[in-house]
Amino acid sequence: MTKTSAKTADTVEFQTFDADKAADQFRAFAEKGVEQSKEAYARLKANAEQTQKAFENTFENAKAHGNEFSLKAISVARANTEAGFAHLEAVLGAKSLSELMELQTSFIRRSFETAVEQSKDLQAVSTRAAEDMSKPFKDAFEKGAKELKVA
């Protein structure tokens, strides 16, 4: 038994350390790491540029829709003021209490109907603004999600 174990020990050889081979492997590993870092940087830069464009588009949309909403609000205020002055003229020209009551009732009904329509218009402008302002980020997010699925 001791003879066979001695023979086994004689046949086991250890590989010698080859510095050139180790340096080549290390260089290949380092080059791969550098390449992966460059690719990651390129993706990060592209995503940052997309995000910047999304912000720019959002701010442009916000400005345009803000102007549209302001003009709509001014239009609403003007229409309501004109209706109020027209009603005041009609009230001052009323000949009887019953005519005054009829004018007042009619004005309140028209004012309510107008307020409902104006609210719908302002809501439509606001909804469109919200959709348009969120679109660049939604598109960027969807594009990023697709790229993640591919990778």
Full-model pTM: 0.61
87-141: pLDDT as tens digits: 999 999 999 999 999 999 999 999 999 999 999 999 999 999 888 888 887 887 7
Number of domains in the chain: 1
Q: Is 115 part of any domain? A: yes
- Pairwise CA distance, residues 76 & 82, whole Å: 10
Residue 130 confidence (pLDDT)? 87
CB-CB contact of 69 with 125 (8 Å):
yes
Domain that holds residue 50: 41-150
CB-CB contact of 129 with 68 (8 Å):
yes
Q: Is 14 part of any domain? A: no
67-79: pLDDT as tens digits: 999 999 999 999 9
Q: Is 21 part of any domain? A: no
Q: Is 66 part of any domain? A: yes
Q: Is 1 part of any domain? A: no
